């Protein structure tokens, strides 16, 4: 359906896993006649994901709430394509499979279950009475977050003319997949990086990597001091309102640092004004036409699709363990035919 625009912007080596799905599923039709709602963020590279699901025979509709970052021009293109588009407050038909992001459609009752793309939907889906796979818990997701998301934070700053990070003081909140990606890329650019995290998790590892300091997130007095000293602050905890503590809010009002968020949710909390944070607290990389390059996100999008098919043979309720053989298959294709591993 979207082949012309895909071919105009991407080479096959940038989406080996999704291309493999298109080729195999066009023959086997594993989703033939099944009603699939895909609510992942809508950007140009999402079109490749949709084509794989269509090749599988899915009766595909797109979930769009306006709350998850998106490209308006691509949303319009989808409307014009003839695919059905549903919002959470619109009359919803019955679905077989829901491929969700940030639990936008968690209130529905699909026949087979859900696949959640991000960590932000986990707390809701843990209580689901349907089977749920969380793509964010995979090893594959590290390709996107560590290589792609980390790079895209700095690529977004290039839009503002910021290219020199040498010795600039960057404070990173969080040392999970996204945080580590930002840290690793920032170190290669020569940034002076301090990290606020749970030091029991990977504090020693961070110091060995070359960060200047690691502060435990519970030591709010020290964290407030780090905020005031920083030139740039970025949140990557994956937790809504993670920084909404009075000592930190006061520090954010005083600091001259440039603030940004790289999590799906607002991590600063309601007491820090939207206007104080770049892009109104939305993930900074989503100011870009392509927030994460397709070559980094291809395997994650392919896994999101493939786990939808896995639901057809999954029982139980709540969050389920991702089949290792499924991950291994996608990783093998990515290594063999892609350009990043």
pLDDT at 91: 63
Q: What percentage of the chain has pLDDT greater than the value 90?
A: 87
Q: Does the residue 297 lie in any domain?
A: yes
Structural domain including 269 reads 160-287
User: Considering the domain boundaries, does residue 147 fall inside one?
Assistant: no
- Six token digits for residue 96: 């077989």
Q: How far is 17 from 302, CA to CA, in rounded Å?
A: 6
Q: Are residues 273 and 298 in the same domain?
A: no
The predicted pLDDT at position 315 comes to 93
* Strands, E assignment, the chain: 35-38, 59-63, 84-86, 97-100, 113-116, 131-134, 169-173, 192-197, 213-216, 232-235, 258-261, 318-319
pLDDT single digits (tens) 88-133: 887 667 899 999 998 999 999 999 999 999 888 898 999 999 999 9
Q: Is 65 a residue whose pLDDT tops 90?
A: no
53 part of a folded domain:
yes
Banded pLDDT at 234 (limits 50, 70, 90): very high
Q: Do both 165 and 278 map to the same domain?
A: yes
- Whether residues 278 and 166 share a domain: the answer is yes
Domain annotation covers residue 155? no
152: in domain: no
Residues 6+ apart with CB under 8 A from 290: 43, 44, 45
- pLDDT given for residue 265 in this prediction: 85
pLDDT band at 341 (very low <50, low <70, confident <90, very high): low
Among 15-24, 65-74, 191-200, whose mean pLDDT is lowest?
A: 65-74
Per-residue pLDDT band at 1 (split at 50, 70, 90): confident
pLDDT attached to residue 308: 98
pLDDT score of 298 more than 80: yes
Confidence of residue 261 (pLDDT cuts 50, 70, 90): very high
Q: Are residues 278 and 313 in the same domain?
A: no
Q: Are residues 70 and 167 in the same domain?
A: no
Are residues 245 and 187 part of one domain? Answer: yes
CB neighbourhood size of 291 (10 A):
23
Residue 281: pLDDT band with limits 50, 70, 90: very high
Helices (H), 122-162: 122-125, 141-142, 150-158
**CA Rg value for the chain:** 20
Average per-residue pLDDT in the chain? 95
Do residues 190 and 317 both lie within one domain? no
Strand order in the sheet with 232-235: 213-216, 192-197, 169-173, 232-235, 258-261
* CATH of residue 279: 3.40.50.720
Lowest mean pLDDT among 134-143, 248-257, 271-280: 134-143
Whether 252 is in a domain gets the answer yes
The answer as to whether 189 is a domain residue is yes
Q: What per-residue confidence (pLDDT) applies to 6?
A: 96
Asked whether residue 60 is domain-assigned, the answer is yes
Question: 20 and 337 in contact (C-beta within 8 Å)?
Answer: yes
- Total domains, the chain: 2
Q: How far apart are CA 6 and CA 94, in angstroms?
A: 30
Residue 75 CB burial class (10 angstroms; 0-12, 13-18, ≥19) = middle
In this prediction, residues 186-196 reach a mean pLDDT of 98
Report the alpha-carbon distance of residue 317 to residue 18 in Å, rounded: 28
Q: How many CB atoms lie within 10 A of CB 42?
A: 25
**pLDDT score for 156:** 96
H or E element at residue 72 = helix 72-81
Per-residue tokens: 42: 């809508």
Same domain? 135 vs 170 = no
Question: Quick one: pLDDT at residue 264?
Answer: 79
Average pLDDT over residues 249-268: 95
Element (H, E) at 165: none
Q: Are 99 and 86 in contact (CB under 8 A)?
A: no
Average pLDDT of the segment spanning 178-189 = 96
């Amino acid at each position: 359906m979207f082949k012309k625009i895909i071919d105009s912007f991407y080479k096959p080596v940038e989406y080996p896993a999704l291309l493999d799905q298109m080729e195999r599923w066009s023959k086997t039709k594993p989703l033939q006649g099944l009603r699939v709602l895909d609510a992942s963020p809508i950007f140009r590279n999402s079109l490749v994901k949709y084509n794989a699901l269509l090749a599988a025979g899915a009766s595909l509709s797109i979930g769009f709430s306006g709350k998850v970052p998106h490209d308006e021009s691509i949303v319009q293109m989808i409307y014009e394509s003839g695919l059905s588009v549903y919002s959470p407050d619109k009359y919803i038909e019955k679905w077989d499979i829901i491929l969700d992001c940030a639990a936008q459609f968690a209130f529905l009752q699909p026949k087979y279950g859900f696949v959640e793309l991000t960590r932000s939907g986990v707390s809701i889906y843990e209580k689901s009475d349907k089977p749920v796979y969380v793509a964010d818990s995979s090893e594959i997701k590290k390709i996107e977050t560590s290589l792609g998301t980390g790079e895209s934070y700095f690529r977004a700053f290039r839009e503002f003319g910021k290219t020199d990070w040498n010795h600039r003081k960057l404070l990173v909140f969080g040392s999970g997949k996204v945080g580590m990606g930002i840290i690793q890329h920032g170190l290669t650019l020569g940034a002076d990086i301090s990290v606020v995290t749970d030091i029991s998790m990977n504090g020693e590892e961070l110091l060995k990597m070359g960060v200047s300091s690691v502060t435990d997130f519970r030591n709010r007095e020290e964290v407030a001091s780090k905020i005031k000293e920083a030139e740039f602050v970025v949140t990557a905890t994956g937790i809504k309102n993670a920084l909404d503590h009075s000592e930190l809010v006061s520090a954010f009002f005083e600091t001259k640092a440039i603030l940004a968020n790289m999590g799906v949710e607002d991590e600063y909390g309601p007491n820090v004004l939207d206007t104080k944070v770049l892009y109104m607290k939305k993930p900074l990389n989503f100011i870009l036409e392509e927030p994460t390059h397709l070559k980094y996100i291809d395997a994650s999008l392919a896994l999101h699709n493939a786990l939808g098919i896995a639901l057809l043979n999954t029982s139980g309720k709540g969050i389920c363990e991702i089949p290792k053989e499924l991950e291994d298959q996608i990783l093998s294709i990515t290594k063999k035919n892609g350009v990043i591993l």
